[in-house]
Chains A and B, each alone.
Chain A
Amino acid sequence: MPEPKQPEKLIDDKGIRIDGRRLDQLRPIKLEVGILDKADGSAYIEQGKNKILVGVYGPREAHPKHIALPDRAVLRCRYRMAPFSVDERKNPAPSRREMELSKVIRESLESVVLTDLYPRTTIDVFIEVLQSDGGSRCAGITAASLALADAGIPMRELVAACAVGKIQGHMALDLSDAEDKYGEADLPVAWVPNANLVTLLQMDGILTTNEFEKGLTMALDACKTIHGMQQEALKKKYLVIKEVAEEREETEVVA
């Protein structure tokens, strides 16, 4: 499949983007928790055309043993894109980009996980991008923090992440693949709401100070929305079981 052609305009005259969104609109997000049986914790996210699966293992014994730390758990993170996740086949070997994203995602999650409760162990996070559509590092962080919570690992709070960018001179929220490729700048942000910490901030392209500030505000607002969705998704798993069980009880009482 050839590369998608550059669209003539990323924003039309009415200020609507190529996928029909306004500038300050997120793509539709679907979050699911606990979908892998064998992993200690897992989560799945769909954000636009992104499809990302995250599995968390641990805390477990550190192997090889020399990586273990005497006072806390080691958080290991692997971001990986499936060969079929992009238009052109992606070489399955770990790329420079994947190594970098693994590192920044790990650092973003390390600030919330209470690693000092589990000395000499590791917590492994595997982020598998099944289909990529721009902003996958942010979607990966959103899903990974959910998977960590699903594993029952003590953490300060959930991390929410979202990107903003500049397309045709306008700041736009949650860039899609085409907007990222043919736009002017991209600014992924991860945010920890209660502590009010930014745990990921990268920038690609050039923004003025004003544009940066406007973009950051937009991204933080979006993170707030996503954070709410995360909490809901995490609780939903247990509320569904609860409803089914308690409903069964009621029907039994009636019968």
Chain B
Amino acid sequence: MVIVAEPKQVVAPGELLAEGDHLLGDNSFKVGTRIYSACIGIFEVDGTRVTVVPLKGGYFPRVGDLVGGRIVDVGLSGWTVDIRAPYEAMLPASETPGPRGPRRRDLSESFDVGDMVLSQVLAFDRTRDPLLTVKGPGLGKISNGRVVEISAAKIPRLIGRKGSMISMLKRETGCQITVGQNGVVMVWGKSPENERVAVEAIYMVEREAHTRGLTDRIREMIAKSNVVGEVARTQTA
């Protein structure tokens, strides 16, 4: 049980991470007793588990994920949704709220091509394309606010340890923020200026995800943007 690479540092694919009986986390693989990194990312050690948190990469769906998607096609019994994954997702009409049974009305009245929807992955495995649902609180068409698209690999950093980053962002910018696991982030603010600062902060997290002391730096950046500061003060008053 030897940790070879330095934890919290950037590792390249094929770099030796550890040797011995460690548990394999994401993006690592074992050859004999040696454990190597499978992608460019930050090396993390958690007990006996070794993981590489990727710095780049697309979204790969998992059941239960909250995802923001764009309607690309309206069919007879459902919609095709682009959820920024390598697979086309289906949102069947039966997974929308409302009365069951045959529908006489046109499905494009609910969601039309180009609409953004917030949905949840209902089913997905290697053999079938993802199936979505918009039944649930907060799910459905996104008709206001701002949508920010960042790399899905940076989502864990945007949320932070136990949600520290995202709760700080919500508090300091006074915005409501919903994070889709696929890198689609929705921001609703009290004013366009609040939203602008929140969006800027989200982009900053994406750009500097692998740096230390990021939460503090973001907090300072938000504090410096005066407009939000004023709004925040009036809110507390």
Residues of A within 8 A of B (CB): 40-41, 58-61, 70-71, 112, 114, 117-121, 149-158, 192-195, 230-231, 234-235, 238-239, 241-242, 245-246, 248-249, 252
A151 x B86 contact (CB < 8 A)? no
Across the interface, A154 reaches (CB within 8 A) one of B16, B27, B87, B212, namely B27
| B: interface residue count bin | 35 or more
B13 x A149 contact (CB < 8 A)? yes
Enumerate chain A residues within 8 angstroms of B10, measured Cβ to Cβ.
Answer: 235, 238-239
**Nearest CB to that of B39 among chain A residues?**
A154
A58 x B210 contact (CB < 8 A)? no
A246 x B12 contact (CB < 8 A)? no
Q: Which of B158-211 contact A (CB under 8 A)?
A: 207-208, 210-211
Across the interface, B14 reaches (CB within 8 A) one of A121, A193, A246, A249, namely A193
Do most interface residues of chain A lie in helix, strand or loop, or is the interface mixed? mixed
A59 x B86 contact (CB < 8 A)? yes
Enumerate chain A residues within 8 angstroms of B214, measured Cβ to Cβ.
Answer: 245
Chain A CB within 8 A of B3 CB: no
Are A153 and B57 CB-contacts (below 8 A) given A231-B15, A239-B10, A249-B217? Answer: yes
Q: List 6 A-B contacts (CB under 8 A).
A: A149-B12, A152-B54, A152-B153, A154-B13, A154-B27, A245-B217
Q: Which of B41-63 contact A (CB under 8 A)?
A: 54-58, 60
Instruction: Quote the shortest CB–CB distance from B80 to chain A (angstroms).
Output: 11
Chain A CB within 8 A of B111 CB: no
Are A155 and B55 CB-contacts (below 8 A) given A194-B14, A235-B10, A242-B211? Answer: no
Across the interface, A61 reaches (CB within 8 A) one of B16, B87, B220, namely B87
